[in-house]
């Protein structure tokens, strides 16, 4: 790769957002901002819009594999390519193609050319371009054209003022640019499911904050834990995020007498109540959890209903219909799995084993009155610590 002529630009294509009608400018603007956030550590910040795609200027020394991994972490990118940029005329395209094709295509290869004109004012049709440029590449490389049995491809895109030549399309994450769906607060346990759920909510354009409930008397015990590492990893996809650390001791002390089979339901309602207040303070309009229908006793359909009863904000459960194995597979591909299985003292491990699977709301509400749940929530909110997490680590907000 080292003696290859340096690429001029990255062409970045976005699929779904081009369908969004009047929201389109907002989506493009947010996507551009998110791309620049990901690429500016590489010193790249010249990005322009060109007919339904974005064009990022590269430097001769740009580290292409670092660039690729940055772009692979931006939601809303459907695919991208590193490309050569030339003037929009057949001569310029031909000259550059003669020069670079041999670096990508060897005599034993079979290739096809896929030319596209975004600008219909360009004098040559796409079909004719395919043919002409096929001949050029054949002469330059000695390889043969084959529309059926090709192992290499040559892409040429002609835009209004420039033309782009590239040899590989790299698939992006798809989804929607983070921020275009507003803000949500993700309940993150450190288990396998919630980081995956958070990632999926980001994929649909949510900008996330995080809340984590911990069993420690000192929040600093969370700092070196996998909880921070998980959020750091997720920040790769979104930029820095706020994290609320909430102690569970006020709740735990109050139920020391033991509410037995109801304790887990009460604790989950407690988490939701506290989280809702934090979300509203932040201007977030939904909560996100890793719950999956019937995966564990607290997640029966009936319990899900009882747990969320009384909340004003919607609860998003991206994993609701996922099988455990599907969640594990996705966690492995994101890299969260290895972190999630690291040992950690989880709040839920302190709570009674055999929870009620068919909790009744009126019973729960009566228990909450006896326990003064509102007071527990208020006292807990006074103990919340707010942090800022980024890919680099964590600091006090
Ligand atoms: P996970 O793998 O995400 O821990 P789980 O399968 O263990 O999920 P539960 O323990 O019932 O299921 O938790 C369901 C959801 O509640 C979690 O996915 C997470 O969103 C939230 N949650 C659980 N414990 C905590 C916690 N300590 N702090 C913040 N959120 C939590
Ligand atoms: Mg868990």
Instruction: Using the structure block, give the residue that is written with the tokens 């590269």.
Output: 58
Atom of ligand 1 nearest to the CA of 268: 16
142 CA from centroid of ligand 2 (Å): 59
Instruction: Retrieve residue 198's tokens.
Output: 């958070």
Closest ligand 1 atom, residue 290 Cα: 18
Please give the DSSP secondary-structure letter assigned to residue 357: S
Q: What are phi and psi of 251, to 5 degrees?
A: -65, -45
C-alpha 317/C-alpha 197 separation (Å) is 7
Q: Which of 191, 212, 355 to mutate to test the pocket of ligand 1 (most atoms within 8 A of CB)?
A: 191
| Residues measured by CB to lie within 5 Å of ligand 2, the ion | 189, 191
CA of 192 to the centre of ligand 1 (A): 9
Distance of CA 249 to the CA centre of its chain: 33
H-type helices in the chain, by residue range? 24-39, 64-71, 90-104, 126-141, 193-203, 220-223, 226-235, 249-254, 263-282, 301-308, 324-334, 337-340, 361-371, 373-381
Distance 188 CA to ligand 1 centre (A): 6
- Give me the pLDDT at residue 267, please: 93
Ligand 1, atom nearest to 296 Cα: 11
Distance, CA of 260 to CA of 352 (rounded, Å): 6
Minimum-distance ligand to the CA of 328?
A: 1
Residue 341, SS3? coil
Please tell me the predicted confidence (pLDDT) of residue 257.
47
193 close to ligand 1 (CB < 6 Angstrom): yes
**Residue of the CA atom closest to atom 24 of ligand 1:** 189
- Cβ neighbors of 157 (< 8 A, separation 6 or more) are 11, 53, 83, 115, 116, 118, 163, 164
> What pTM was computed for the model?
0.93
256: pLDDT strictly greater than 70: no
Residue 39 has pLDDT above 60, yes or no: yes
- Among 84-88, 119-123, 269-273, 303-307, the least confident range: 119-123
Euclidean distance between CA atoms 209 and 198, whole angstroms: 10
Q: Using only C-alpha atoms, what is the Rg of the chain?
A: 26
Q: What share of the chain is helix, strand, coil (3-state, %, to 5)?
A: 45, 20, 35
**Nearest-CA residue for atom 11 of ligand 1:** 298
- Average pLDDT for residues 42-49, to the nearest whole number? 94
Nearest C-alpha neighbor of 202 from the set 61, 76, 21: 76
């Amino acid at each position: 790769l080292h003696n290859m002529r340096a690429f001029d630009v990255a062409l970045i294509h976005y699929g779904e957002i081009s369908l969004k009608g009047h929201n389109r400018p907002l989506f493009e603007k947010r996507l551009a901002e998110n791309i620049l956030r990901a690429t500016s550590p590489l010193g790249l910040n010249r990005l322009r819009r060109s007919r339904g795609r974005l064009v990022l200027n590269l430097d001769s020394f740009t580290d292409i594999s670092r660039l690729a991994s940055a772009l692979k972490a931006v939601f809303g990118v459907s695919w991208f390519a590193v490309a050569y940029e030339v003037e929009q005329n057949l001569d310029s395209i031909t000259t550059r193609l003669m020069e670079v094709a041999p670096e990508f295509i060897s005599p034993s290869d079979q290739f096809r050319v896929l030319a596209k004109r975004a600008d219909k004012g360009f004098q040559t049709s796409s079909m004719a371009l395919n043919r002409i440029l096929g001949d050029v590449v054949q002469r330059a490389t000695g390889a043969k054209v084959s529309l059926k049995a090709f192992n290499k491809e040559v892409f040429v895109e002609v835009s209004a003022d420039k033309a782009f030549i590239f040899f590989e399309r790299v698939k992006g994450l798809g989804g929607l640019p983070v921020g275009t769906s507003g803000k949500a607060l993700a309940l993150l346990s450190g288990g396998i499911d919630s980081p995956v759920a958070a990632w999926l909510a980001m994929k649909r354009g949510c900008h996330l904050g995080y809340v984590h409930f911990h069993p420690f008397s000192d929040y600093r015990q969370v700092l070196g834990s996998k909880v921070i590492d998980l959020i750091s990893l997720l920040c790769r996809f979104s930029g820095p995020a706020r994290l609320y650390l909430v102690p569970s001791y006020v709740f735990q002390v109050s139920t020391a007498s033991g509410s037995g089979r109801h304790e887990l339901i009460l604790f989950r309602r407690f988490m939701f109540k506290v989280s809702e207040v934090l979300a509203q303070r932040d201007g977030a309009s939904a909560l996100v959890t890793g719950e999956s229908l019937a995966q564990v006793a607290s997640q029966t359909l009936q319990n899900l209903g009882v747990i969320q009863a009384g909340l004003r904000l919607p609860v998003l459960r991206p994993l609701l219909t996922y099988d455990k194995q599907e969640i594990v597979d996705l966690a492995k591909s994101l890299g969260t799995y290895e972190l999630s299985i690291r040992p950690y003292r989880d709040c839920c491990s302190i709570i009674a084993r055999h929870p009620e699977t068919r909790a009744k709301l009126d019973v729960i509400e009566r228990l909450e009155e006896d326990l003064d749940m509102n007071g527990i929530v208020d006292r807990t909110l006074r103990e919340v610590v707010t942090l800022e997490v980024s890919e680099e680590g964590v600091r006090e907000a």
